[in-house]
Homo-oligomer: A and B are copies of this chain.
Amino acid sequence: MSTATPATIEDVARLAEVSIATVSRAIHTPDKVAKSTRQRVNQAIAITGYTTNAMARSLRMGRSNMILVLAPDIGDPNFSPILIGIENEARAHGYGVLIGHTQNDPERGLDYLKFLNSNQAAGLVLFTGHEPFGHQELSQRLPPTVAVFEPVFGARVSYVGVDDTAGARKAAEYLLASGHRSIAFIGDSRTKLGHVRRRKGYDLALDAARIAPDRRIVIEGEGSVESGRLAVEQLFMRDTLPSAFMCVNDATAIGVINGLAARGYDLPRDFSVIGFDDVAQATYLHPPLTTVRQPRSAIGRQAMALLLKQLTEPGEGTQEILIMPDLIVRGSVTSAMRSR
């Protein structure tokens, strides 16, 4: 029963008085073994508490049934809901999910690369926005991979995420419809592809509203709470204040709100702020944040579905799936008429 070492297929075979091959078949291709034998085997399995040794199995088969999800920051509020989408879809198809935390450290990435190299994962989901490994050359023998949330910079990897451009455009159009004409964009349009796309949505909306490019205010910020706060400081330095802040994500928006509150302004009366992501926290801010909602669990689900497709039909082609997000109107945007 509960011996120190787990039961092997051999223990089961002995108890059921068959060969180990028959046991294996009884488990994986039950129709290939006679009914009576099958019953005996199942009984023996129940008695011994046998569980197939996944490691030996994967070693033999040259492929496991685990999916590795790599994230630089587990704490990212977007991560957990996406993960749940991934897990549900994976589980429905008999795959398990493991998470690797890279902390953006190439050393750590390499650890997980070794893991992959040993065939311990059949597929890979990247939440990193870039390849997590220092040595590219090794990447060539990566398993089927799909990136979520942030496209991978300059690599042919499938991607599932929100339609950043369309979402950002919705946000900007909402600000415009509220009467704002001086709208600042805060984000990193230099290195982050997702940010670049959101910036594009902003530009498209302002173009359509015939707001001249030189009347736009764009502040660089890498997308953290701190960067939002800094952006506010910068604007005060310059002394060119917009009536609305369009932030590349909610974290930045939180920084902006804090920065403005710290200077004694009353939101949303004095300034409007809009975010992107709709993190859980957004509802609890003062004012509650108007933002663009990431369809997180849909992203996870579709990413996993795509990965599974790539696993079963290894037909090279990488694919990009963009999901349209919704604007969630809360209280952080007001009509521009009342303010300056």
Q: Which residues of A are at the interface with B, using a C-beta cutoff of 8 A?
A: 1-2, 4-6, 49, 51-56, 58-59, 64, 66, 73-75, 77, 79-81, 83-84, 87, 91, 96-101, 103, 107-108, 111-115, 117-120, 137-138, 140-141, 225, 254, 258, 261, 280-281, 284-286
Q: A53-B117, A99-B100 are in contact. List 15 more A-B contacts (CB 8 A).
A: A2-B138, A6-B141, A51-B113, A51-B114, A54-B117, A55-B58, A73-B80, A75-B77, A75-B80, A84-B101, A91-B111, A96-B115, A98-B99, A120-B120, A284-B285
Is there contact, CB below 8 Å, between A108 and B80?
Answer: no
List the number of copies, as a whole number: 2
A87, B99: Cβ atoms closer than 8 Å: no
Complex Cα–Cα for A139 and B57 (A): 22
The reply to whether A2 and B141 form a contact with Cβ atoms under 8 Å apart is yes
In the assembled complex, which residues on chain B have CB atoms less than 8 Å from the CB atom of A225? 284
**Is A2 a contact partner of B137 (Cβ separation < 8 A)?**
yes
Contacts of A55 in B (CB 8 A): 55, 58-59, 64, 118-120
| Bound-state Cα–Cα, A140 to B4, Å | 8
Shortest A100–chain B CB gap in Å is 7
Can you offer 17 A-B residue contacts whose CB atoms are under 8 A? A2-B137, A2-B141, A4-B141, A51-B113, A52-B118, A54-B120, A55-B58, A55-B59, A55-B118, A56-B59, A66-B115, A74-B79, A84-B103, A87-B108, A98-B100, A99-B101, A258-B284
Partner of A108, one of B64, B91, B114, B137: B91
Is B6 within 8 A of A117, CB to CB? yes
